[in-house]
Structures are given as structure tokens and as C-alpha cells.
Amino acid sequence: MIPQPKKIKRTEGTAPQGSLAEERICPGLGGEEYRISISREGIYLSGSGETGLFYARTTLEQLRMMHGEELPCMEIEDWPDYSYRSFQIDCARHYFSVEELKKMIRMAAEFKLNYFHWHISDDQGWRIECKRYPGLHEIGSVRQGDHFGTCRSDEKYGGYYSRREVGEIVDYCGKFGIEVVPEIDMPGHVTAILAAYPELSCLGEPVEVGRKAGIFKELFCAGKEETFVFIENLLDDMLELFPGKYFHIGGDEAPKERWRGCPCCQKRMEEEGLRNAQELQGYFCNRIASYLQSRGRTPIVWNEAVYGGNLNKGVAVQLWTEDKDNQIRAHLDKGGTAILAMVDHCYCDYPYGMHSLKDMYDLETAPAEFGEHGAESVLGAECLVWTEFIRENDRLEELCWPRFAALAEVGWCGRKRPSYEDFRERLSAVFGLFEKYGIHATKIEGWDPDEEAAARQTAQFQMNFSEEERMEARMAQEDI
């Protein structure tokens, strides 16, 4: 079974063939906790509500897959270690249909993942119908071609989700205890927004929706008051669509060149007593975060947003890079929280030869550098797929599965997870689930490529970046 239940007690005998499970509401159990009792009398599932019962059903489904009709008698008691077990899909670089997303969500639900981080805006596309600012979906959702490494086309590329479709995804997730966490990345990764509303950048000059991968220079201007008015109106519009607790506001990869050269941004720094551009980013994030908090939401940001040292402690920080200079630790010491999504473990856009199934499984959920107190502030972990180089559904699926299942177990079992070898065996026993849900998962021989295969896959992946792009990326990184 994946994730491995906390307690399994085997008892004598098997359940009567063809038994249907009887479901019971047990108010004393935690929201995600469940029990399964399989005895000679029958099969009983308990949970305090729909989510617990759904988890009990998924575990039972896996047991049936392993044992067929001869279900051995046992008692299972189970609950998760971490409350935040998330999967992210980037629908900005490439658009994936509602049908495909539902397939991915259904599969994730089977492994008890409970947050869908939906990356809906980036330099290369804005993907949601917006009532207040229709230029976003009319202009921001279309680019003049794909120049993503070896993934190239000169045809116009576009697509967005209608408000009705967003509701369909949110409701579909809700059926399986999954909350949608939308991400509108800012102040960087906003070129598609600026293509429709260029007056919001520092230069105010026209830009086109991005066609290639990489880090883009244009940011939201943090000096102009109009920027904040726009973002707040936009958030009001998006909050109608996304009712969940968390809202991701990005904050990664924002090179500060434009801010340094902008009189409005410089004036803002002076007025607010901000000593450098990092602190200006902290100020920017805090303003947006406060707006969300005033509407009862919890904002999430990428870890670059803590570099200024002035981030509001109520913001959850999602780590994808190392905790440079102990800045995350300082945020946690102030009472902040963290979500783990380390690039070397959790990023499924890289081939298995670069980030293997074992790498995902070996994610450290209580990093020593956080200290004891900090480790307690970890909400959970996330697996991710960025899609610059992924256009096809089958490719998306084979890169994500079964790596997403490994993260699901990391989040559920925490530090006390079984050995990786044990995980592989259990995964093999339920591999039929991928077929059942129509998912094109990577088969066992591809999970942990040997050195030669890894070198081949790495070389192939590296072909996506020219020398010039590598250089540009390095320079942009230095200014983040």
C-alpha cells in the first residue's frame, strides 16, 4: 500500500468473499484519520467525515488490488504526519486540458495527496478567465510560438480555463478532499500579465508574452500605487473562484535590475526606509500577503521572498533552493511555517536519470539546519512539474508518476517512512492503479536509471539550453 498505513494488525482468517464495505462516521477521529476493520464478519470503514472515509476507501482499493477477493483479516489505523501534501502542475508554460487535469487529480487522490498547487500565470501565459481584467485571458493567454529548448514551434500557442471550468476543477478536487492552491507569481514571472497591462512595469513599455524558458527582466513596479490597486482587484476576482485557505503569490526569480533603475521604486524605498531591493521585495510581498490575510487566506511564497529578512511571519515559505544564510530558519524562529519542495528531490520536469524515484523518496522533511523548533514548523511537502519542455499528456504523466506517489508517502509517513526498497516493493504491488486510472506511468526499469542511462538522459536534457541561455540564466540568478 502507498502510503504505508501507520498501524496494521493482522488477525486470523479472511473476509467473506464479495463483502461490501460498511461505512461508519466516527466523530472522535481526526479529519484525515481513518480505520479499516476486515474480519470474518465483514469489512468496516470509519472516518470522522467524507475525507477520512475516502482515504479508507483508497486503502481498501489497494488491498483488493493486492489480494483479490481473498482479503486477509486485519485492523488498520492510519493518519498523516503532515497536513500539507501537495502536487503542482505548471499550466502556464503549457496548457493541459480540464480532462487531463482531472486524470492527474484523480490519481493524486488515490495516494492521499491533499493540495493541488495550480500554477496559472507565468511569463509565457496567463490561463484563467478574468472578469475584471479581460486583457489577461484575451492577450496574456496567447504567445506567438514555443521556443523552449528542443520543444519548438512557430505556431501561435494559447489557451485558458473559463470560470466554469475552474469551478469544475475546484469541485472535482473537493470530492477527494483536495484543496486547489492557485499561484499567481509576482513580482517576477509576470511578462504575460504585462503583455496586456504594460503600464504596471517599471518601464511601462510594451512586451510580448514570453516564448522561451528562463528568467525574464520585467517585474511589476513596486513603486507605482496602480500596481497594488491592480493586484488587489485581480485577487478579489480570483478569490471568488478559489475558496481554499491557501493562495500562492510566487516571489521567485525576480532580478532586481529594473527596480534599481526605476525612480518610482527608488522613491518607494526611500519613503519606506528600505535599504535594498531585497527589502523592497519583502515590502511588496507583505502588502499582497496582508491583503490576502485580511480576506482570511494564508499566503504562500517561494523562498526568495525571505531574502530581505522582512517577510510577514504569517506567510508560509515554500523552499525549492537551500536555506542560504539561515534566512528560512530566521523566518521559522519568528513563528513562520515552511513547505518543502527542494529542486534536487521534488522537481519532476527533470528526467529520472537526474532526479530519480529514490531522490524523491529521500526528501528530508526535518532539515537539521531548521533546528528542532523549525522542523516542527514544516507544514509538509510538494512534488512539482514545470512544463517548458512538456507539451504532451503522456510525457507529463510519465514524468510525474510514480514520483508523485513517492512524495505522497513522504508527506504521509514523515521521517518514520519505511526503507526505499520496501517502498519500491509496495509500489510494484499496486502499480495496476496507474492502468486503472489511465495514467501513463514510468515502469520499474525507469525509476532509478544506472549511471550510463543517467548520463544519457542528462545530456539529452541539457540540449534544451544553449550556451547563451545558460549564461543569461547565471547572470539573472546573481541578481535575484
**Minimum CB separation from Zn ion for residue 203, in Å?**
8
Question: Does residue 123 interact with ligand ACM by CB under 6 A?
Answer: no
CA atoms of 358 and 402, how far apart (whole Å) = 11
**Minimum CB separation from ligand ACM for residue 351, in Å?**
17
The grid cell for 342 is 527542494
Strand 378-385 to strand 337-340: parallel, antiparallel, or no bridges (unpaired)? parallel
Per-residue x/- track, 281-320, ligand ACM (CB under 6 A):
---------------------x-----------------x
Altogether, the residues listed in the chain come to a count of: 480
**Minimum CB separation from ligand ACM for residue 235, in Å?**
20
Burial state string for 252-288 with b = 16 or more CB within 10 A and e = fewer than 16:
bbbbbebbeebebbbebbeeeebeebbbbbbbbbbeb
Site for Zn ion in 194-223 (CB under 5 A): 202, 221, 223
The binder of 302, among ligand ACM, Zn ion, none, by C-beta within 5 to 8 A per type, is ligand ACM
Contacts 24+ apart (CB under 8 A), 448-451: 448/352, 448/356, 448/357, 448/358, 449/351, 449/352, 449/353, 449/356
CB-based contact 3:36 (threshold 8 Å): no
Task: Choose, by CB under 6 A, the member of 253, 349, 359, 388 that binds ligand ACM.
Answer: 253
**Residue 358 Cα distances to 318, 347, 387, angstroms:** 22, 13, 22
Task: Choose, by CB under 6 A, the member of 122, 146, 183, 252 that binds ligand ACM.
Answer: 252
Closest Cα to residue 414, out of 382, 446, 380?
380
Is the Cβ of residue 252 or residue 409 nearer to ligand ACM in the bound state? Answer: 252
Site for ligand ACM in 317-346 (CB under 6 A): 320
Is the Cβ of residue 261 or residue 335 nearer to Zn ion in the bound state? Answer: 261
Question: Does residue 90 interact with ligand ACM by CB under 6 A?
Answer: no
Is the Cβ of residue 105 or residue 342 nearer to ligand ACM in the bound state? Answer: 342
The three-class DSSP label of residue 59 is helix
Closest Cα to residue 378, out of 366, 360, 369, 368?
366
Is the Cβ of residue 176 or residue 259 nearer to Zn ion in the bound state? Answer: 259
The binder of 291, among ligand ACM, Zn ion, none, by C-beta within 5 to 8 A per type, is none
Task: Choose, by CB under 5 A, the member of 264, 375, 454, 480 that binds Zn ion.
Answer: 264
Question: Does residue 218 interact with ligand ACM by CB under 6 A?
Answer: no
**Minimum CB separation from ligand ACM for residue 341, in Å?**
8
The binder of 38, among Zn ion, ligand ACM, none, by C-beta within 5 to 8 A per type, is none
CA atoms of 262 and 280, how far apart (whole Å) = 12
CB-based contact 305:251 (threshold 8 Å): yes
The binder of 262, among Zn ion, ligand ACM, none, by C-beta within 5 to 8 A per type, is Zn ion
Is the Cβ of residue 254 or residue 280 nearer to ligand ACM in the bound state? Answer: 254
**Minimum CB separation from Zn ion for residue 228, in Å?**
12
Is the Cβ of residue 223 or residue 308 nearer to Zn ion in the bound state? Answer: 223
Is the Cβ of residue 34 or residue 246 nearer to ligand ACM in the bound state? Answer: 246
Site for Zn ion in 220-259 (CB under 5 A): 221, 223
**CA gyration radius, the chain:** 23
- Nearest residue to the partner ligand ACM, using Cβ: 252
**Residue 173 Cα distances to 111, 170, 243, 255, 404, angstroms:** 13, 5, 12, 35, 16
The binder of 301, among ligand ACM, Zn ion, none, by C-beta within 5 to 8 A per type, is none
Question: Does residue 274 interact with Zn ion by CB under 5 A?
Answer: no
The binder of 264, among Zn ion, ligand ACM, none, by C-beta within 5 to 8 A per type, is Zn ion
Is the Cβ of residue 103 or residue 117 nearer to ligand ACM in the bound state? Answer: 117
Size of the site for Zn ion (CB under 5 A): 6
Positive or negative torsion for Cα 117, 162, 209, 465: positive
Distance of CA 215 to the CA centre of its chain: 19
Size of the site for ligand ACM (CB under 6 A): 4
Q: Provide CB contacts within 8 A for 77, sequence distance 6+.
A: 5, 6, 7, 33, 35
| Phi-psi sector, 209: left (phi>0), alpha (psi -120 to 50), beta | beta
Q: Which residues bind Zn ion (CB under 5 A)?
A: 202, 221, 223, 262, 264-265
Q: Which residues bind ligand ACM (CB under 6 A)?
A: 252-253, 302, 320
